[in-house]
Chain A
Amino acid sequence: MTELSTPKSDICPDGAAGQSHFFRRFKAQSQAERGRSILALPGLLFLTVFFVVPLIGIIVVSFGETKDFEILYNFNVKNYQKVLEPLYFDVIVRTLKIAILVATVSLLIGFPVAYYLARKVKRWRMLLLILIIAPLWTSYLVRTFAWVQILGANGLINYILNSLGIVDEPVQWLLYSEFAVIIALVHINMPFMILPLYAVLERIDVRIFEAAYDLGASPSRVIRTITIPLAMPGIIIGWLFVFIPSIGAFVTPELVGGTEGLMIGSVIAQQFGTTFQYPFGSALSVTLIILILAVTGVMMKLMSRRSA
């Protein structure tokens, strides 16, 4: 006698054998998970209303214009034409340049520190980490205006230079210049560079280094071909964590930048102040956002290409 029937499960998986194992598990899972997404909803709703919507509002207003302290919402690109004028365009370029410089300098300065913390020290690591994180808990306003007292004509550095006899007159370009802005921004954002770098470097398995050294690689070769590629995600993230606040900096350039160190943040702030030029300010802001997104995109591309 031949087999007249094949096992039921071959013909109809969801048939008499009951629901298939996969389906039953899925249903049980979703029952347990059903309370989950509800938890996140209020928060997401809040962020949508008070973050996404205002940003969309900025985009909308950027296409409007002001007339007698009223904002008219007619669609025009006058504001963006104004953004391209040399007066404002130069400031934008300078802001971009400063932000890139600040992020890159922070990377160069901070990498050795993160490297030391992650690979070279065990006992003092906690203490050093706390020392580096602690400034983040303090007001950056305070830390910024401290630089006025360090870089000023009557400040600490000039005092040191003068008493050492290196200069006769106070050095003027230390303060109220691009230099001052860069130093101050590097100082404020340094922990944001060191922390991601440390996190990434700390995770690299020691055995990779041991293997490389066993195979005869020199320390510099190891750093070039192993450490840096493996650390790339941290490098990119740290760079962005410094670049983005720097390009949007407003308080710092106003305190230490003078006219030379004018950044787009100050210009934008003016538009939303007494001048009431909201549409133009919005256009500048949209330009800033586009710049941030563009640079972030480029950096992310770099990250995926150069990572190990």
Chain B
Amino acid sequence: MISKGEMSRRALIVWVSLIIIFLYAPVAVVALGSLNKTEVIRFPITEYSLSWYVDLFNNRQIGDSVIISLIVGTLTSVISTIIGVPLAVGINKHGSKTRQALSAICAIPMMTPTLLLGIALLNLFVALSYPLSLSVIVLGHVVMTIPFVVLVVGARYVNMDRSVEEASWDLGAGKFQTFVRVVIPSLRPAIFSAFLITFTLSFDEPVISFFLSGTETTLPVLLWSMLRFGISPEINALATITLIVSLFIAIVAQIATNKQANR
């Protein structure tokens, strides 16, 4: 006889498995679809082929947008980290009341739908008659990602041993010197994580990029306009590649964080 506790435990396991399948089924479908030989997406898949991946390599438009997305992503990560790390440290130095208020304020861009971020910035630049371009997109992405940097780095700073910082002051180092030579190195794993998170968020971001695009555009925006005409195995191939790259970065980030944290 199975006890009631054991039964509910098994039910939970079944449920969790179903949810995991739910989370990954679309990923599997995309990956499978990229191998479909026929142009039209339909199940069952009768013939398999890697030809779509070959087509991808020859697609100039896609290649260009990938490069643009890489550039935008890198710029976003760099700027977001440069602004976000001092912000995270500065906020968390305050007493709890101020710190809570400032943390909440910094978290708001993370909580606003990207649609609103995009149109608000678009409106601003149109009002200022400032031309849209890749730098404008970077700006939008930075606004979107700063809260993540503050969150990740701030959490690490709060758990950091402050006595090292205080020792540095006692030994005569200036505030800024301490920040650069003591605080930042001990935050390195968190900064690295924040950098990677920001990069992936920016690389995959369609909405803000859509509104702030000038003549050139990022990969998600191109993907978005391709999707409007329908789905093809070529799109699935592109999607599969981006999925693999994203997951790879996620794993790298996880390993790096664990390795450095255990030092």
Contact = CB atoms under 8 A, between A and B. Distances in A.
A285 B224 CA distance: 22
Contacts of B139: 50
Given A37-B90, A109-B19, A154-B42, A149 B247 contact: no
A132 interface: yes
B9 interface: yes
B18 to A, nearest CB: 9
Interface in B113-136: 113-117, 119-124, 126-127
Contacts of B166: 32
A251 B29 contact: no
Contacts of A54: 120-121, 123-124
B211 interface: yes
A253 to B, nearest CB: 11
Interface residues of B, number: 87
B123 A38 contact: no
Contact of A130 (B15, B26, B33, B254): B254
Given A145-B227, A248-B112, A268 B119 contact: yes
Instruction: Give the interface size bracket for A toward B.
Output: 35 or more
Interface string A31-42: 011111111111
11 contacts: A36-B93, A40-B89, A42-B87, A50-B121, A50-B139, A115-B12, A142-B239, A143-B27, A146-B25, A244-B111, A269-B210
Interface of A: 32-44, 46-47, 50-51, 53-55, 57-58, 61, 71, 109-110, 112-113, 115-117, 120, 128, 130-135, 137-143, 145-150, 152, 154-156, 158-159, 187, 190-191, 219, 240-241, 244-245, 247-251, 255, 265, 268-269, 272, 278, 281-282, 285, 288-289
Given A43-B146, A44-B105, A46-B142, 12 more contacts: A35-B175, A39-B89, A51-B120, A54-B121, A135-B23, A139-B243, A141-B223, A142-B26, A244-B112, A248-B116, A250-B115, A281-B119
